[in-house]
Structure 1
Amino acid sequence: MRKKIQTVYQKSVAFIALTVFGAYRSFAQSAGGIDQATSEVSSYIDPVANLIIAIGAVVGLIGGVRVYIKWQSGDQDTQKAIMGWFGACLFLILVGVVIRAFFS
């Protein structure tokens, strides 16, 4: 009876050791993939942030021209248009800055 308990104990210890070792090796392999993905995503951050800031600048220029045309024609909702275009331009520029700060 004692020998049976000892055999079961040895088998369970061996099983636990193999399970822990296998899990450790799988985590080590996935960490390399995560590091590779992180470096690949990081290489795209600056161009994407610059593109978003450039789109914000273009939106700002178009908005400025549209607001100027409204103002020259005497529209009453010029302030509403200014706030809308300014908000859109500010949002795009801040998104570009936040993306760069978040991923850098």
Structure 2
Amino acid sequence: MKKDIRKNLQRLTSFLLGLYCSISLLMAQNAAGIDQATSEINSYVDPVSNMIIAIGAVVGLIGGVRVYIKWQSGDQDTQKAIMGWFGACLFLILVGVVIRAFFS
């Protein structure tokens, strides 16, 4: 009876030791993978942020021209168009800035 208990205790101990070693190895591999992914994401942040800001500038210019055309033709909803285009332009510029601030 005592031999069985001792044998089961040795099996349990070896199993727990193997499990601990496996988990620590997996956690070390995950840390290296996370570091690699972080460095790759950080390499893309500046170009993507600059591209979004440039798109926001182009949208602002296009919106300005369209609002000017509406204003010259005498449309009544010029103010609504100004707010829509200005909101879109502001959103794109803020997204570019927030992405840069969040990931850098």
TM-score by length of 1: 0.96
Aligned residues with identical type, % of pairs: 72
Q: Over the residues paired in the alignment, what is the CA RMSD in angstroms?
A: 0.8
Partner of 1:59: 59
Q: Give, in whole Å, the separation in 2 of the partners of 1:3 and 1:82.
A: 86
Query: Post-superposition shift, 1:45?
Result: 0.5
How many residue pairs align between the two structures? 104
Unaligned runs of 5+ in 2: none
Task: Supply the distance in 2 between the matched residues of 1:25 and 1:80 (Cα, whole angstroms).
Answer: 59
Where has structure 1 moved over 2 Å in runs of 4 or more?
Answer: none
Structure 1, unaligned stretches of length 5 or more? Answer: none
Give 1:7 deviation, angstroms.
1.3
CA drift at 1:49: 0.5
SS of match in other structure, 1:75: coil
2:75 alignment partner, SS class: coil
